[in-house]
Structure 1
């Protein structure tokens, strides 16, 4: 029994209605749907077209640096003695038969690995306890010689500092070598100590150096440290140096080469660089007029962007980039992506049209099969 053309049309209409009711698959909202979320249309987000003024107002990046207590600390003497250090003491006496420190006939006496105690002192036979911490070997030599001079004629004293547990710093985190390192003549500054530890084992653009001293902490980008000698602070015994990996990231969604959470690999990251990292715009489906950056913006920045002063608390902001405009690529190059941003690229309108045609074509084929024609 054959089916009439009218029945075919009924079946086809029912299938098309089903497709329209279910909706076609897509990667996210289109441009018009995003704009419907604007506060101008009773939505809860401010939608802003990116221009040079907006770019300038939103160009805020993490500010790292050291406080005055770090910056004003001068380089310590390379041989400055500290509690925990070890000293080597050599005394030459101008007597042969009855030396004060050595055996008979022995003019040269050595005391090796004298440890400076927690109070910063050492004990020397016939000289007693002597404060050593905070002095140079030359200063300590003169003091010891003066104390021994009254007991042995014109003693000649040599004091050498052996790097011990006193003048040391700790290097940890993403440093190539981790451990406790002595502050010596070549390693009295932060960059020199990092070099002593073998540098960093992560990308330099992602490295942040944190230094903790006496309960205070300062941070600096590794690249800034190398580019700005003023940030190369002098070290102090007990400093804790930690190499950290930048934890910032953004999320890429929509018609891009890949959709994922992406870590920052440089201090600053522009919108055009963020798109490039995830493979650029998808050639077949992306709408270059609909590149959006979603962000919760602090009130002070939101007020500056919108030319207002009444907003309080974080504001939902949607920044719009149109890459087809004469300055669109420049705006995307200058607009900075920040930690936690969502970069979303909409699909071109014709993509949904193609999907609709494909769905209808498929539906028509299904209808033909059902009717047996």
Structure 2
């Protein structure tokens, strides 16, 4: 007689053994991440062991902020006039009876004349009597003064000229966004030394907390972004203002994601300018003692090609400027905690804690136990059905009414 229970158990075992890779899981296994061929399917990535050398490399070559994007750290140069700026011209002569000063001493209180204010026209010129059109746009006041003197020196008596900026309508610095009072103001003259934080102060300061505020500087068609606290903690990034700078402040909390066998899964705020990998793991509730493999904690991030090269990654296998990198750390090793406490997190980082291998075994046994329980019930039901059919058949043959 065929043993239905044995056949059913064999069938269940065969199906489960063939489907071990489909067991429920919160992410990839540690073995699949460390497989050399794992990164060749969808998105290629590089696996880097997180140690003191790795942390040192990342510390030296982390994003440089404004100082790295804008290398000119000098104060703004002398202000140059632009089209639309309003200027005043004052001309002095050494004695009366010259080109501008009359002979009658009582007519004028001094040996100078101030021309009416005028805006630099669309051609970039201003007009000075007896000197004609004087180029002014793109020039400093000293350059304009010299041009006027050269034009009238043969007609006026030892002339001297002062050209002053009456209303600055170009070369302005703009501050907007998450500040208390958005403002535009003239760029400071040479030597004034206003910096990025000075401009934000003119705008009434930032609205949000410093650790969730970001500063964008646009200059000459180029942009760079830094956290606001970066300007305070690293003064090298608090660079001098230049004419036409545009500063935009926006609010965006720095966040990281945690998945796998962490105490909690989800999205977490830094709530600080900087936190370390150890801080982030703690924010996510640590590792689940009954589930996590402390030797398989992974940090997902994209690094620049230059940084990836310095980490020893073969960048020829990748395209684009950003290389997907997975950092692996072992928290079973006591020194792993020291390394994790120095590894700086970045906005958008992803932490994944792999399950211990024993967890997968436990899952398999639980599913096997459930399957066997179901099989026992099915076999019992089948046996009961056979017995019922046998009894019905015997009753039918013995019944006088032909059941």
Give the shorter-chain TM-score range: 0.5 to 0.7
| 1:80-130 C-alpha deviation (Å, 9 max, x unpaired) | 86543346899xxxxxxxxx9xxxx9x9x9998743434665557899867
Distance in 2 between residues matched to 1:56 and 1:346, nearest whole Å: 26
2:219 to 203, 212, 223: 212
Name 1:53's counterpart in structure 2: 53
Per-residue deviation at 1:291? 0.6
Distance in 2 between residues matched to 1:115 and 1:301, nearest whole Å: 51
Distance in 1 between residues matched to 2:118 and 2:45, nearest whole Å: 70
Name 1:241's counterpart in structure 2: 247
Distance in 1 between residues matched to 2:372 and 2:177, nearest whole Å: 63
Name 1:74's counterpart in structure 2: 75
1:134 to 112, 126, 140: 140
Q: Does 1:223 align with 2:229?
A: yes
Instruction: Compare 168-177 and 246-255 and name the one that shifted more.
Output: 246-255
RMSD across aligned positions (CA):
5.6
Distance in 2 between residues matched to 1:7 and 1:220, nearest whole Å: 70
Contact 2:216 2:223 in 1 (8 A): no
Contact 1:203 1:265 in 2 (8 A): no
Distance in 1 between residues matched to 2:67 and 2:310, nearest whole Å: 28
Contact 1:61 1:268 in 2 (8 A): no
Distance in 2 between residues matched to 1:229 and 1:304, nearest whole Å: 26
Name 1:182's counterpart in structure 2: 186
Name 1:155's counterpart in structure 2: none
Query: Which structure 2 segments of 5+ residues have no match?
Result: 91-101, 157-161, 385-403
Name 1:30's counterpart in structure 2: 29
Matches of residues 131-210 of structure 1 in structure 2 within 5 Å?
134-135=140-141, 163-172=167-176, 175=179, 177-178=181-182, 180-183=184-187, 188-201=194-207, 204-205=210-211, 207-210=214-217
| 1:36-90 C-alpha deviation (Å, 9 max, x unpaired) | x1379x998765543212322344322233479863543467x986543346899
Contact 2:217 2:245 in 1 (8 A): no
Residues 57 and 166 of structure 1, relative CA distance in 2, 3 Å threshold: closer
Residues 174 and 252 of structure 1, relative CA distance in 2, 3 Å threshold: same
Task: Tell me which structure has the larger Cα radius of gyration.
Answer: 2
Name 2:277's counterpart in structure 1: 271
Name 1:327's counterpart in structure 2: 335
2:364 to 346, 356, 363: 356
Distance in 2 between residues matched to 1:67 and 1:337, nearest whole Å: 20
Per-residue deviation at 1:345? 0.8
Distance in 1 between residues matched to 2:232 and 2:276, nearest whole Å: 23
Instruction: Compare 20-29 and 215-224 and name the one that shifted more.
Output: 215-224
Query: Which structure 1 segments of 5+ residues have no match?
Result: 91-99, 151-157
Residues 286 and 166 of structure 1, relative CA distance in 2, 3 Å threshold: same
Contact 2:66 2:239 in 1 (8 A): no
Distance in 2 between residues matched to 1:287 and 1:316, nearest whole Å: 23
Per-residue deviation at 1:25? 0.8
Q: TM-score, normalised by structure 1?
A: 0.64
| 1:191-234 C-alpha deviation (Å, 9 max, x unpaired) | 22222223445653451432313x55566553343345554444
